[in-house]
Structure 1
Amino acid sequence: MSRRRLFTVSGGAVLASGLLGAAAPAAAARTTDQSTPVPGTGTHVVTLGTAAGPAIRGPRIGISTAVVVTGNLYLVDCGLGMVRQAAAAGLTMDRLRALFITHLHSDHISELPGLLLYNWGPGVNGIVEPVRILGPGPAPLPQGAEVHVPPSTASTERFVVDLLQAYAYDVNIRVYDEGRAPLDDLVRAEDIRLPAAVHADPDRNPCPEMEPFEVYADASVRVLATLVNHPPVFPALAFRFDSADGSVVISGDTTEHPNVVRLATGADVLVHEAIDPAFYQAQGLPPDLLEHILESHTDLQAVGRVARDAGVGHLVLSHLGGIQDDSDAAPTRTVFGGPVTVAADGQVFAVGQ
């Protein structure tokens, strides 16, 4: 048997037996392992990785969230370690329909090479049909910032093209040696451009109030986006997924902002970033860095106000900065009376059940 044929047949069988199992009963929340894959019916949210970054402060996986609708997989962000976590949850990338990037900070995109290169082709239950990668662009540096590594303006499209070029030898040799479909034919990167009616300015008005707008739709889900406030990054986005079962909103990195409230209004599940300011204040950080952290993220009481004002069904805290477990959410519960969960890596939440 040729190496190409061996890769396709035996490799796929091994991966299928290790990662795909019988669907477990739906549950409100649980942590995944190889024996409890995400159900193939209904809509579920999986907090694959819950850590703020890019510092590694503990065992939590880098930020990444999956939305699974009747077996179809949609990912938001690719933080460090999420590829292994997705495998542990049984989320093989032959089910991936689209990847959404909230912004181009490294802790949200650093695992994209692993996601593509370790999940490419039928032999690994990987990508075999074109997958859309949607994210911000163009993304200029703030006025006055020095350009140490060109270019001065980034975009999702540029990032993916450059990534594939960086791994050009690996891509080309595997197409030649293993018979894989060219990876550049399977990956379709798209910049999400703001509606013409939104008059945003990267330096003076990076997050004007606006109405959510559609960025993706297929037979299973409709996805809306809005600008969020994560200075000095521009643009930074949040996403809402609407399915027949209900709605889930993923905030990305943001301060408390009316755009998030508008996007999340009536959502069944809101996955929102959160920080504990006291944790950072105790670190002895330089004043400018501390001020930046506090002004570009959402504290525990503020996230409660967002959930309360949006009338969400369940608030799930993720992208956790200085937050360890459920007891840390006490300040949030003083503001929001609904269910609040400090997410664990690999936790599964049913939507609309």
Structure 2
Amino acid sequence: MVFTIRCRVVATASIISALLTVAAQAQGIKVTLLGTGNPPPVMNRFGPSTLVEAGGQKFLFDAGRGALQRLRQIGVRWQDVGGVFLTHLHSDHVIGFPDLWLTGWLVSRRDIPLQVWGPRGTKKMMSYLEQAYDYDIRIRPYGDQISPDGAVLLAEDIGEGVVYDKDGVKVTAFEVDHTPVKPAFGYRIDHAGRSVVLSGDTRISENLVRYSQGVDVLIHNVAAPETLQRAGLSPERAQSIIVHHTTAEEAGQVFSRTKPKLAVYSHIVLPSATEQDLIPPTRKTYSGPLEVGEDLMVIEVGDHVEVRRPARTSP
């Protein structure tokens, strides 16, 4: 009898511990870097895409090459993604969208419309995609017996400001400087006193600095001039890329001014950049916590910020 009571007490304690863990996670923000690369079609860094989970909701920010495969790798169903936020309409940020949308509809049996938010031109782009894939959209429900609602796109062109605020999760868009692309957005996600900023593509942006003050995690794009030289690009071509992005030394200035609990590099130009290319120049201007992002890296934002790198596979 005493043994039975002890077992029940232990079991109850385990359940309570599990519930407390779930409750704690619900109050935080979980970020998964699905893709940390840029246009070059390499296998170690897929196209730019970030999954943010907060308050039981899941959202994607950008939809670069391979985003759906990365979601599949981490066991997140497309059915459960509430919407997609686009930073801008450069091809490497949207090229994976048709795959997410249509293959996701098919394999996850999505039966609810998809919301898409992005800069001016997003709604037009989505309407053209619906036209381009009209045959597939019309025929799939018959042959594969899936809900036509899962292929519906609810697209919205947004401006700077709060663009989503529901059930304790707030998403704020702010303009960044990715000239000649106008507008290009960064996003700030707030939930239960936690905050994450995604820079999108930008050079040093005073607006980003303003929106990132006191943020828990700042995920910033970065360009490494050394990688462009190693790739054999002409000085003129290399400079044309650098001028539209932020170098590591410049990003360090942004981190020093915003003081995040953790600074993270993503959308790394070029994907071949190493920690040696990025960390030493950053340290010229910033001495705080810093991570070079990689595909499938997980960042848990709670009372503390914790980073989990993906498991290494044997060669």
- TM-score of Structure 1 vs Structure 2, range by shorter chain: 0.7 to 0.9
**Regions of 4+ moved over 4 Å:** none
2-structure distance, mates of 1:287, 1:277: 10
Aligned match of 2:136 in 148, 152, 170? 170
Q: Which has the higher strand share?
A: 2
Amino acid corresponding to residue 324 of structure 1 in structure 2: A
**Secondary structure in 1 matching 2:105:** coil
1:79 is aligned to 2:64: yes
Following superposition of structure 1 onto structure 2, how do residues 199-238 of structure 1 map, counting pairs within 5 Å? 213-238=161-186
Q: CA 1:163–1:218 in structure 2 vs 1: closer, same or farther (change >3 Å)? A: same
1-structure distance, mates of 2:118, 2:296: 23
**Secondary structure in 2 matching 1:290:** helix
Preserved CA contact (<8 Å) 1:317 1:342: yes
Preserved CA contact (<8 Å) 2:55 2:191: no
Give the superposition deviation at 1:291.
Answer: 2.2
Which residues of structure 1 form unaligned runs of 5+? Answer: 1-22, 27-38, 138-154, 195-212
Amino acid corresponding to residue 100 of structure 1 in structure 2: F
Give the superposition deviation at 1:118.
Answer: 1.5
**Secondary structure in 2 matching 1:159:** helix
**Secondary structure in 2 matching 1:188:** strand
How many equivalent residue pairs?
A: 280
Q: Highest Rg: 1 or 2?
A: 2
Give the superposition deviation at 1:174.
Answer: 1.0
What residue in structure 2 maps to residue 132 of structure 1? Answer: 115
Percent identical residues:
36
TM-score by length of 2: 0.83
Give the superposition deviation at 1:126.
Answer: 4.8
1-structure distance, mates of 2:204, 2:230: 22
Q: CA 1:296–1:76 in structure 2 vs 1: closer, same or farther (change >3 Å)? A: same
Aligned match of 2:293 in 343, 346, 350? 343
2-structure distance, mates of 1:127, 1:266: 37
Give the superposition deviation at 1:337.
Answer: 2.1
Q: Which has the higher helix share?
A: 2
Following superposition of structure 1 onto structure 2, how do residues 135-150 of structure 1 map, counting pairs within 5 Å? 135-137=118-120
1-structure distance, mates of 2:237, 2:275: 27
**Secondary structure in 2 matching 1:65:** strand
Give the superposition deviation at 1:94.
Answer: 2.0
Q: CA 1:40–1:88 in structure 2 vs 1: closer, same or farther (change >3 Å)? A: farther
Give the superposition deviation at 1:120.
Answer: 1.2
Following superposition of structure 1 onto structure 2, how do residues 260-339 of structure 1 map, counting pairs within 5 Å? 260-322=208-270, 324-327=273-276, 328-339=278-289
Preserved CA contact (<8 Å) 1:62 1:80: yes
Which residues of structure 2 form unaligned runs of 5+? Answer: 1-17, 305-315
Preserved CA contact (<8 Å) 1:61 1:345: yes
**Secondary structure in 1 matching 2:82:** strand
Following superposition of structure 1 onto structure 2, how do residues 14-29 of structure 1 map, counting pairs within 5 Å? none
Give the superposition deviation at 1:119.
Answer: 1.4
Give the superposition deviation at 1:74.
Answer: 0.8
Give the superposition deviation at 1:40.
Answer: 7.0
TM-score by length of 1: 0.74
Aligned match of 2:125 in 135, 141, 159? 159
Amino acid corresponding to residue 117 of structure 2 in structure 1: L
